[in-house]
Amino acid sequence: MRMRNPSHPGEIIREDCLEPLGLTVTAAAKGLGVTRKALSDLLNGHSGVSPEMAIRLEKAGWGTADTWLRIQMTRNLWEARRRAGRIKVKKFESTAA
């Protein structure tokens, strides 16, 4: 069964990582070693979790890099499936007997 509209990782980071600690975007960005804009773009769904960001989140104690990348991939696949009708592909038939 396919998941409907899986959460963007940025939503999870905001709700499960920043809010419980009372961290501002500025303070969290500084702690993660990224710009405020980079973190803001992620939190607002304008960018995704890169492998480097996943490692930063892991080092901050917010889950594993593998988990963050799986969450991001689930979201990416869900978005691609929403556009699947516009993807035109020729099906190749097997020539093996």
Residue pair 78/10 in contact (Cβ under 8 Å)? The answer is no
Q: Note the helical H segments in the chain.
A: 9-12, 19-21, 25-32, 36-43, 51-59, 65-82
Mean pLDDT of 81-91: 94
Q: Is the pLDDT of residue 92 over 90?
A: yes
Q: Is the pLDDT of residue 15 over 80?
A: yes
pLDDT of 47-83, one tens digit each?
A: 999 999 999 999 999 999 999 999 999 999 999 999 9
Which pairs from 22-30 meet CB under 8 Å and 24+ separation? none
Residue pair 67/51 in contact (Cβ under 8 Å)? The answer is no
Q: What single letter denotes the amino acid at residue 2?
A: R
Q: Write down the CATH superfamily of domain 9-81.
A: lambda repressor-like DNA-binding domains (1.10.260.40)
Please state the domain extents for the chain.
9-81
SS3 for 83?
coil
Residue 3's pLDDT band (boundaries 50, 70, 90)? low
Q: Is the pLDDT of residue 14 over 80?
A: yes
